[in-house]
Structure 1
Amino acid sequence: MRALLFCLALSMLGGCAHADKGPGSLPYTYWRLGFLAPDYMEVWVETADVEDIRGQRFFKMGGGTVSVHLPNDGSGNATGWRETWGKGRYVNGADLPKRIYVRWQSLAEPQTYRVIVDIPERARQLMSERLDPPCQASEYREAMAIGLAPGGVVKGWVTSTCGKLIEVFQAQAEIEPKGPYEGLSEGEYYFLSEQAKTYIEQHGIPYGSWQ
C-alpha cells in the first residue's frame, strides 16, 4: 500500500512509468471503470488510479463529475443506490484490477476523501466468467462501478451491458487532510448544483442509508 501511495506521489512529478505490457489474463481487450453517487449527493472525482494484477499502474482513469440523478422537481430519493454502471472510461491495456486509489470531493457535505481499495478475488473471477447467455454487446462482466457517498462510504460492483450490478466490496474512506485539490484551492470545493442544494436543505443527508 505504501509503495502504491509512493508511486502515486511520484506520478505528480512525472515518475513511476507503466510497466511493459504483455499478454494478460483478460479474456477481452479492456474493462470499464465508472463512478456513481446517490441521488443529489453530488461528487467530484479528483483522481482515480488503477494498479492491475501485473503491477502496472494507470493514472487519472477517472475524474470530474459522476453519475447522479438530479430531477428538478425533487422527486429523487437519496436513500440507497440507483442501479447504473456509472460515468467513466475504459482502462485500456490493463489486466484485471488489483487496487484502485480514489480521491474525491463529496460536495453535499462538503468534504474531501481518499481511499485505496484492494479488489477481492471474487470480483476478478466474476469479470473473467463468460456470461450464459451473453449480452448483445458483451460476453463478460467487463465493467466495475464504484459508488461514493457522504461520510466516505464506498461500494463496488461488477456488471455487464445487460446484467444487474453484483456487489463485490465495501470500504470506508478517510478524510483527505489537505482538503480539496490537495490543498491548492484554499479550501474551495467544486460547485454544488441548485437541485442538490435545494434537496439537501429540505431533506438533509441520509447518513447510514448506503451501507
Structure 2
Amino acid sequence: MSGTAAIQTPPNNGGNPKGWPENPGWGKGKYVTGADLPKKIYVRWQSLVEPQTYKMVIEIPESTRELMRREEKVFCAFDGKFITDYREALVVNLAPGGIAKVWVLGPCLPPIEVTTVKAEIDPRGPYEGKSGGKYDSLTDVSKAYVEKFGVPYGSWE
C-alpha cells in the first residue's frame, strides 16, 4: 500500500513546526477497510527536507489492538449526541531524522499515543532505487521556509 503526506508551511512563514501535534488528524494516508487489525505495519518513506529514505517495521502490540476493539461512550460534536464509538484508525506521523509516532483515534474519541519508532536509512534511496538516487524536490515555498528556520531535529523524539 502507499499513502501520501502533506508538507505544511505555516502562513507567512510563521508558526512553530517543533514537536508533534497535540491532536493528530487522520491525514491523507491510505485507508484500509474490512481488514483485521494489523500486528505489524511496514513503512518506507522519503524525507524531502534531508533528503533521505527511511524504512521501519512498527509492531502493533495486543494492548493497542485491544484499545481499538473497546467501545466507549462519548459526546460527539458532529451530531451533538452521546454515542458508542471505537478508535478505528492507526495514524502514523513521520518526521525528519527517521522518527515516527503512532496514535489510535476515532471520529469522536481523543487520540491515544501508542508508540514512537526510530527508522533506519534505506540505502536503496527513493523509489526503491529506481530513480537513480534522484529525490523529489521541495516546493519553492517549503525550501525557503527550511532555509530560513532550519529543521528542528530532536523535537519529535
The two structures have a TM-score, normalised by structure 1, of 0.66
Gaps of 5+ in 2: none
Residues 67, 122 of structure 1: alpha-carbon distance in 2 compared, 3 angstrom cutoff: farther
Deviation at 1:126, TM superposition (A): 1.1
Indicate if the aligned counterparts of 1:120 and 1:169 stay in contact, CA closer than 8 A.
no
Deviation at 1:94, TM superposition (A): 1.0
Match of 1:110 among 51, 71, 79: 51
Match of 2:32 among 73, 91, 101: 91
Indicate if the aligned counterparts of 2:93 and 2:100 stay in contact, CA closer than 8 A.
yes
Root-mean-square deviation over aligned CA pairs: 1.8
Rounded to whole Å, the distance in 2 between the matches of 1:145 and 1:67 is 14
Indicate if the aligned counterparts of 2:87 and 2:104 stay in contact, CA closer than 8 A.
yes
Please state if 1:175 is matched with 2:114.
Answer: no
Gaps of 5+ in 1: 1-59
Residues 80, 113 of structure 1: alpha-carbon distance in 2 compared, 3 angstrom cutoff: same
> What is the match of residue 39 of structure 1?
none
Match of 2:8 among 56, 62, 69: 69
Q: Secondary structure at the match of 2:113?
A: strand
> What is the match of residue 148 of structure 2?
202
Q: Structure 1 runs of 4+ off > 3 angstroms?
A: 134-138
Match of 1:193 among 103, 124, 139: 139
Indicate if the aligned counterparts of 1:113 and 1:174 stay in contact, CA closer than 8 A.
yes
The two structures have a TM-score, normalised by structure 2, of 0.87
**Count of equivalent residues:** 150
> What is the match of residue 80 of structure 1?
19
Rounded to whole Å, the distance in 2 between the matches of 1:201 and 1:146 is 26
Deviation at 1:66, TM superposition (A): 0.9
Please state if 1:121 is matched with 2:76.
Answer: no
Rounded to whole Å, the distance in 2 between the matches of 1:76 and 1:194 is 18
Percent identical pairs in the alignment equals 51
